[in-house]
Structures are given as structure tokens and as C-alpha cells.
Amino acid sequence: MKTELITMAAPARAAERAAAILRAGGLVGLPTETVYGLGADGLNEAAVRRIFEAKGRPQDNPLILHVPEAAWLDRYCLDIPAEARDLAARFWPGPLTMILKRREIVPDAVTCGLETVGVRCPDHPAALAVIRAAGVPVAAPSGNRSGRPSPTCARHMLEDMDGLIEAVVDGGPCGVGVESTILDLTGERPRLLRPGGLPLEALEAVLGQITVDRAVTSPLAAGERPRAPGMKYRHYAPQAPVTVVTGAGADTARYILDHAGPGTGIICFDEYADSFPGCAVRPIGASADTAEQARRVFDALRSFDGAAVTAIYAQCPPDAGLGLAVANRLKKAAGFQIVALEEGA
């Protein structure tokens, strides 16, 4: 299959072209503010199944339904709590996915048979225009091949999906750079299933304290059942093994320098960009600038593939603000191979 690259030179025509492909059951790589998604008509079971094939995605990892406005929530969800409407009014369009009870109209292929569905309204003009033109909710996971770092520009989308899908819409680089925050509102208390582009602190300012699922910061124990199916898979991983080093910047830089050799890949804060001579260094932003780190972390992880890198070390921000999402992506890329230098290093 030849994958068409749709530019946004003529936005209305581009949206109509992508929407026509979706309505015909095709797959389209779509820019959002978080990462690029691999979209299909979310009410077309056969089209949704093709997402799993193109990604090599396990059959039990559900997709998020993307809608153009909060008013669509009632079409796909039941028993919507007041908190969900309040959060949608405050944070949509934006990087927040809410897990709610689903209506029958949502195909099993989207939810993987769960009685719940994840819904989000993306904050990106191209994504919104395509969804509106298609007139259907767009089911989309991130547009990477399963297990790989998520795509944050059209080039990344093509790296993984060229020849496998009908089209990619080029909406430029993603402004947020990590996936949406996933909040489960179907239990007794709200629960954070995945940290993402909307900081936990912003949600807690509205809802009070939120339970953070253990899988966000630690690996699943043997036999432990994940709350969200996606949590059980190794994720975001480049080819070479990753080790995450947590602690003060100067300490982690020293540790990494001690363990690095020629051919080591390094993800570091900008302040330490010159500290690793002979290594493949990828600075991802100043240590205090977690928003910039979020924008660059997936590109950095991807950039080592194809380079002669056999091991990767990464500095890691603390678990605050967007740092929680950046740290989570790095730790999952490392399969939770973490060196913690916090105490007495």
C-alpha cells in the first residue's frame, strides 16, 4: 500500500481528504497536541481491527475514542458522573482521557470487550477538523508500532507505518509530546492510570487527592493484574537497553560518565550536554523545563535506533508536574531498570 502524506497547506481540503479515508474504513496517522495517533472510524469494527494489525498491538489493549466536543460524551458513555462533565469543561480540548461506562454502540474492538471506554477531545486544529468532517468518533492509540516510542512528528509516523496505512496528516511537531493523562472515573474514587500531558496536580486542584496506580511508578509483580491492560506491556523502548538514573543532576551525570563508554547513548538535561565526550548525547531540555523534556523525550529515544548504540543511560526528572509523565516514559522504556542515587550518593 502506498501511504499518502497529506499536508495542511489547504486545511479544509486536507481535513476532507483524511475524513473520506476514515469514512471508507481506512487508517490515517493524525497529529494531536500529545502524540500522533493512528486513527480509524471508531464505530467501524473492521476498520478498528486494522489498527491492531498495523501496530502489532496485543488484542487486549483498548483504544481511546477521540471526540470533537464534550457534548458527544453522552453518545458513547453511560452514567456519566458530574466530575467528568466538570473536568471536560475545564480541560477539553486537552490532554485528558477519561475512562467511563460505555454504551452498547461502542464496538468491542475499541474497548477489547471492557464495559468501559476511554474518551478524549484533542487540542489540535487538524485533529478536530478531521473528526468533525468525518462525523464519527475516531478510535486511536499512539501511531507507533507496538512497544516502540510514540511518534511526535509526521516523520516518526512514516518510520513506523509507511506502506501499512492509507495516509498520514502532517500537522507539524506535537506541542505536548507525551500521551494524554488517563483518569479512571468508574470506581469509587478517581484513579490515575497513566500520567501524561495534563499534570496530576491540575486534576487534584479540582478533585482533591487522586490515587495513583502503582503501575505508574513500579513494574507489575509476577501474576499481578493490571488495572489498564496497556500497563502490562514493555513500552516506548528503543532497540538498545535503557538504564534510568534518578537523583540530583550533578550526581546522575557523574554516575553516567563513570559507566559510559564509546557507543553509549545518553539522554541528559541541557546543562550536562558537554559532559559525555565520545558518547551519543541527546539533550532533552533544561533540568527545570519538564515541558521541553516532554516534547523531546520520544524523539531522543527513537534517535538511537540505527545508530551504533549498544546501551543507553538517561537522567530523569523528579515526579512533579510533567516530570511524572517524562519519568514514567523513561522508566517504562527501561523496563524499570532504575539506579536511584537519591540517598547519600
Q: Cα(214)–Cα(308) distance, rounded to whole angstroms?
A: 35
Q: Exposed, middle or buried, 125 (CB in 10 Å: 0-12/13-18/19+)?
A: middle
Can you read off the three cell numbers belonging to residue 320?
512533579
DSSP-derived pairing of the beta strands 138-140 and 242-246:
unpaired
- Residue 148 DSSP class: S
CA-closest candidate to residue 267, choices 223, 218, 216, 301: 301
Tell me the per-residue interface mask from 183 to 212 with ligand AMP, x by CB under 6 A, - otherwise: ----------xx------------------
Q: Which is nearer to Mg ion, 236 or 276 (CB)?
A: 236
Cβ 160 to Mg ion shortest distance, Å: 11
Q: Which is nearer to ligand AMP, 116 or 315 (CB)?
A: 116
Cβ 141 to Mg ion shortest distance, Å: 5
Other Cβ atoms less than 10 A from the Cβ of 271: the count is 15
Residue 111 binding result from ligand AMP, Mg ion, none, given CB thresholds of 5 to 8 Å by partner type:
ligand AMP
If one asks whether residue 229 binds ligand AMP (CB under 6 A), the answer comes out as yes
Residue 64 binding result from ligand AMP, Mg ion, none, given CB thresholds of 5 to 8 Å by partner type:
ligand AMP
- Residue 215 DSSP class: G
In angstroms, what CA-CA distances link 325 with 195, 314, 317?
5, 15, 9
If one asks whether residue 116 binds ligand AMP (CB under 6 A), the answer comes out as yes
If one asks whether residue 109 binds ligand AMP (CB under 6 A), the answer comes out as no
Applying CB under 5 A, the residues found at the interface with Mg ion are: 142
Q: Cα(27)–Cα(278) distance, rounded to whole angstroms?
A: 42
Cβ 45 to Mg ion shortest distance, Å: 21
178 neighbors 317 (Cβ within 8 angstroms): no
Q: Which amino acid is at 193?
A: L
Q: Residue 89: left (phi > 0), alpha (psi -120 to 50), or beta?
A: alpha
Other Cβ atoms less than 10 A from the Cβ of 261: the count is 9
Omega before 81 cis (within 30°)? no
DSSP-derived pairing of the beta strands 138-140 and 37-41:
antiparallel
Q: Which is nearer to ligand AMP, 230 or 265 (CB)?
A: 230
Can you read off the three cell numbers belonging to residue 306?
540505527
**Number of residue whose CB is nearest Mg ion:** 142
Q: Which is nearer to Mg ion, 142 or 152 (CB)?
A: 142
User: Binding to ligand AMP (CB under 6 A): which residues in 39-68?
Assistant: 61-64
Cβ 57 to Mg ion shortest distance, Å: 8
Cβ 110 to ligand AMP shortest distance, Å: 8
Cβ 1 to ligand AMP shortest distance, Å: 22
54 neighbors 151 (Cβ within 8 angstroms): no
**Number of residue whose CB is nearest ligand AMP:** 230
Q: Which is nearer to Mg ion, 26 or 141 (CB)?
A: 141
Other Cβ atoms less than 10 A from the Cβ of 221: the count is 7
If one asks whether residue 99 binds ligand AMP (CB under 6 A), the answer comes out as yes
Residue 114 binding result from Mg ion, ligand AMP, none, given CB thresholds of 5 to 8 Å by partner type:
ligand AMP
If one asks whether residue 228 binds ligand AMP (CB under 6 A), the answer comes out as yes
Residue 61 binding result from ligand AMP, Mg ion, none, given CB thresholds of 5 to 8 Å by partner type:
ligand AMP
* Distance from chain centroid for Cα 18: 22
Residue from the set 39, 94, 107, 118 that interacts with ligand AMP by CB under 6 A: 118
If one asks whether residue 111 binds ligand AMP (CB under 6 A), the answer comes out as yes
Residue 116 binding result from ligand AMP, Mg ion, none, given CB thresholds of 5 to 8 Å by partner type:
ligand AMP
Residue from the set 31, 230, 285, 323 that interacts with ligand AMP by CB under 6 A: 230
